[in-house]
Chain A
Amino acid sequence: MAATVSTPVGSLSRQRRLRRIGTGILYVLFALVAFTFTLPFFLMLSNAFKSAAEIVRIPPTLFPQNPSWSSFRTVLTEAPYERWFLNSLLVSGTITLIVLFTCSLAGYIFAKFEFPGRSVIFVFLLVTMMVPFPVLLIPTYLIVNELGLINSLWALIVPAMVSAFGIFLMRQFVAGIPNDLIDAARLDGASEWAIYIRIIVPLVRAPMAALGIFTFLAAWNDYLWPLIVINDLEKSTLPLALTFFNSQHAQRYDLVMAAAAMAVIPVIIVFVIFQRQIVNALVLAGLK
C-alpha cells in the first residue's frame, strides 16, 4: 500500500524537478539567442569608439583598444549633423501632430455623423489603404513637383498629413463611445468642437498614442521618399544624410558607425522608456 502511494508522489516531484531543469535550459538558451541577436549593435558601438588607425586593422578587434569619443566629435563638427537631427525631429513631430488631429477628427465624423455618401467614401478610404506605396511614388512626386515643394521639408510633410489607416483605426475606437454621452453634452449646450476636444479625444487617448508612435517611427526612419524629393544636404533627414555621409567617408567605418549610432540610440532609449505603449501600438498597427 505504502509503495503504491509513494510512487506517484515520487514521480511528481521528479517531474517538477525535470520541469525546473527544462525552464533553466530555456533561460540559458534564450540568453544565448538574445546575446547573438544583439551582437550587431555591440559591433556598431565598438566600431564607433575606435580610432582611425584601429578601424583598418586586419583582423578587426572586437573591443576598441583605446575607446574614445573622437569619431562622434568628428561627425558633429565636420558634418551638419545637428541640422539633420533637427530636420528629422521637425518633420516627424509635425507629421505626427497633424496626423493625430486629422485622423481623430475624421474618425469621429465617420463614426458619429450622418452625411450623404458616408459609406461609399469610407469604402474608397479602405481601398486606398491596400495600394502599395511604390505605385504612388511617381505620381506623388509629380504632384509635389507641381506644388513647387521639391527640395523642401514641406515635401516630406504635406503628402503624409492624413493616413487612411489612421482614420480607419480612430473610427473603430470612436464608434465604441456611447451616443448618449455625446447627446447629453449637446443638451448641456457644449459646442461641437468642445465635444470633440473634451469628450472624444480623452476617451480615445490609448489608440491615439498608438497611432502617434507608429506615425513618428515611420516618419523618422523613412528613406525612399526623402531620397526622391530632397537633394540638398542641408535639408536632409537622418536616414538620407547617413547615406550621403557614408558615400563621403567610404572606408571610415568609425565615423559612419558613430553617425549611425547617434541616429539609432535616441530611438532605442525612447523605445525602452515607452516599451509597453510602443509594443501595443505596433501590434495594433499590424492588426489592421
Chain B
Amino acid sequence: MAICLIPILALIATFSLLPIGWAAWLSFHRYNQLAPTAPWIGLRNYEFAFQTDPFFRNALENTVKYAVVAVPLNIVFSLPIALGLNHIGRFRAVFRTAFFMPVVASAVAVSLLWNTIYAPQVGWLNAFLEQIGLEGQPWLSDPDLALWSVLVAAVWQDLGYNILVFLAGLQGIPDDFYDAAKVDGAGSWQRFRGITLPLLQRTTALVLVLTMISYLQEFTHIQVMTAGGPIHSSETMVLYIYMKAFEDLQMGYASAMSMVLMGIILLITLAQLRLLRARWEY
C-alpha cells in the first residue's frame, strides 16, 4: 500500500519542492526564457532590488503600508461583529450568510463590482457623496487614494472569513466559565475582560498571522482595479513580481524579489508569534 505514495510524492516533489529550489537558483542568475544562456550573477539581482531599482522599493513600501492598515482595519470590524453574532440567538444564520457572501464570491467579480461603485461619474459613491453635500473623488485615479480604495474593497470581501474564525473561537469557550463567573457576581464587562478576551487570544493570534500573510500577497484586487497605477502608486510586491516575470520576462530578477517577499513574510510571522506568545504567558 505504501507504494501508492510514490506517485503522490512525485507530484509534490515536482510542483512544491522543485519550484522552491528552482526559485532560489533563478534568483542568482540572469534568466530570460528567450535568451540562450542564463549566466550566474551571484547576489546582483538582490543588490539591484535594494540599491538601484526605485520600483522595487516603491512596491515594498506599498505592500507594507497596505498590510499594516488592512490587518487592523479587518480586525476592528470582524471582532465586534463576531461578538455581536455570538450574542444573537435568532437570525444568526441569516446575518452570518450576509457577512459571508463576499468571501465565496470571486475576487475578480468583486473588484469589477467596486470599480462600478468607484467610477468617477456614473459610480454610486460619488453620487452619494454629492447628495449629502460632499465632493466626489477620483477614487482609483488619484495616486494618493488608489491603494486605499482597493484596500476597502479587499477588506469588505475578506471580513466574513475572520468573523467566522472569531465566532468559532467564541463558541469554543465553555459556558461553565461564564456561569461560574456569574455566580461569583461578575458583571458582563468583567466577564468579557476576564474570560472572553484572554480565552480568545489564541484565535486572535491565528487571525493576525493568517490575515497579515494574505495581505502581504495582495494581487487580484490591485491588478483588476488599478493595475498598479496611477504612476505605480498602488503597485504591490506580487504585482511587480508578476509584471517583471511575465511582461518583461526578467524571471531571475523576479525570483529574487519573490525570495525577498518570502523572507519578509517569514520574519513578520515569527515576530508576531513571538510577541503574542509573550502576552499569553502571564
Contacts and interface: CB of A to CB of B under 8 A. Distances in A.
A97 interface: no
Given A40-B117, A109-B4, A113-B2, A135 B103 contact: no
Nearest to A217: B104
Given A29-B84, A43-B113, A58 B121 contact: yes
Contact of A121 (B9, B16, B110, B112): B9
A56 B12 CA distance: 51
Nearest to A29: B84
A74 interface: no
A37 to B, nearest CB: 6
Given A136-B23, A260-B112, A286-B161, A60 B124 contact: yes
Interface stretch (B39-47, B140-148, B238-246): B238-246
Given A109-B1, A125-B12, A137 B245 contact: yes
Interface stretch (A2-10, A75-83, A202-210, A271-279): A271-279
Interface stretch (B65-73, B87-95, B271-279): B87-95
Contact of A142 (B8, B22, B220): B22
26 contacts: A26-B87, A33-B81, A34-B94, A34-B99, A40-B114, A41-B113, A106-B8, A106-B9, A109-B2, A113-B2, A121-B9, A128-B16, A131-B262, A134-B258, A136-B20, A138-B251, A138-B258, A139-B19, A162-B12, A228-B242, A238-B106, A256-B112, A268-B105, A271-B97, A275-B97, A286-B210
Interface string B230-242: 0000000110011
Interface string B110-142: 101111110101111001001100000000000
A106 B11 CA distance: 12
A159 B10 CA distance: 11
A44 interface: yes
A236 B115 CA distance: 22
Given A34-B98, A56-B122, A246-B112, A139 B18 contact: yes
B170 to A, nearest CB: 12
B2 A257 contact: no
B113 A44 contact: yes
Contact of A263 (B106, B121, B165): B106
Contact of B19 (A143, A161, A238): A143
A253 interface: yes
Interface of B: 1-2, 4-5, 8-9, 11-12, 14-20, 22-23, 26, 33, 81, 84-85, 87-88, 91, 93-110, 112-117, 119, 121-124, 127, 130-131, 156, 159, 161, 164-165, 168, 206, 210, 213, 216-217, 219-220, 223-224, 237-238, 241-242, 245-246, 251, 254-255, 258-259, 261-262, 265-266
B64 to A, nearest CB: 15
Contacts of A33: 81
Nearest to A246: B112
B220 A223 contact: yes
Contacts of A238: 106
Contacts, number: 241
Contacts of B245: 137-138, 141
Contacts of A246: 112, 115, 224
A236 to B, nearest CB: 11
Contacts of A221: 104-108
A253 B124 CA distance: 12
B259 A272 contact: no
A55 interface: yes
A267 B16 contact: no
Contact of A135 (B19, B94, B124, B161): B19
Given A124-B17, A263-B109, A271-B101, A243 B114 contact: no
Given A37-B99, A139-B23, A264-B105, 5 more contacts: A44-B113, A135-B20, A221-B108, A264-B109, A279-B100
A4 B133 CA distance: 57
B206 A286 contact: yes
Interface of A: 23, 26-27, 29-30, 33-34, 37-38, 40-41, 43-44, 47, 55-60, 62, 102, 105-106, 109-110, 113, 115, 121, 124-125, 128, 130-143, 145, 158-159, 161-162, 164, 167, 192, 196, 217, 220-221, 223-224, 227-228, 238-240, 242-243, 246, 253, 256-257, 260-261, 263-264, 267-268, 271-272, 275, 278-279, 282-283, 286-287
Contacts of B2: 109, 113, 115
Given A138-B26, A242-B108, A272 B161 contact: no
Contact of A40 (B11, B113, B122, B213): B113
Contact of B20 (A131, A142, A253, A264): A131
Given A26-B88, A132-B213, A279-B96, A143 B112 contact: no
A27 B219 contact: no
Contacts of B105: 221, 264, 267-268
Contacts of B238: 134, 224
A146 B246 CA distance: 16
Contacts of B223: 223, 227
